Amino acid sequence: MYLKIITTFSLLCLCTVQAKEPIQHNDKKTTTRELIQLILAQDLGTRKFAFADVVHAATGKTVIPLNSKTPAHQLILKAVRKATKETSSELSQPDSPVRKLRRINEASRYFEDRILNKLNQYPELKCNIPINNKGNEQRSGYPDMLITHTAADGSITYAYLDPKLFEKKSRGSSLRTFYYEPRTHTNKIQHNALHLLIGISHDGTQGAWQFTHWDICDLSHFHVRLKAEFQASNRDIYRKPVLLPAAE
| Domain-wise residue ranges, the chain | 1-48+227-248, 51-224
- The proportion of the chain whose per-residue pLDDT surpasses 70, expressed as a percent, equals 84
SS3 100: helix
Q: Is the pLDDT of residue 195 over 90?
A: yes
Nearest to 197 by CA among 143, 156, 157, 126: 143
- The third-level CATH classification (topology) of the domain covering 51-224 is ECO RV Endonuclease; Chain A (3.40.600)
* Amino acid symbol at 50: A
Query: Across the chain, how many H-helices and E-strands are there?
Result: 6, 7
Choice between 243 and 25, residue whose per-residue pLDDT is larger: 243
Which contiguous run of DSSP H or E holds residue 237? Answer: helix 234-237
Classify residue 35 as exposed, middle or buried by CB count within 10 Å of its CB (0-12, 13-18, 19+).
middle
Q: Is the pLDDT of residue 1 over 80?
A: no
Q: Point out which residues pair with 63 in neighbouring strands.
A: 193
Query: Cβ–Cβ contacts within 10 Å for residue 224, how many?
Result: 21
Q: Point out which residues pair with 126 in neighbouring strands.
A: 148
Tell if the pTM clears 0.85, that is, is over it: no
DSSP state of 131: B
DSSP symbols for 44-81: GGG--EEHHHHHHHHHS--BPPP-TTSHHHHHHHHHHH
Confidence of residue 25 (pLDDT cuts 50, 70, 90): very low
Choice between 161 and 178, residue whose per-residue pLDDT is larger: 161
Q: Cα 49 from chain centroid?
A: 15
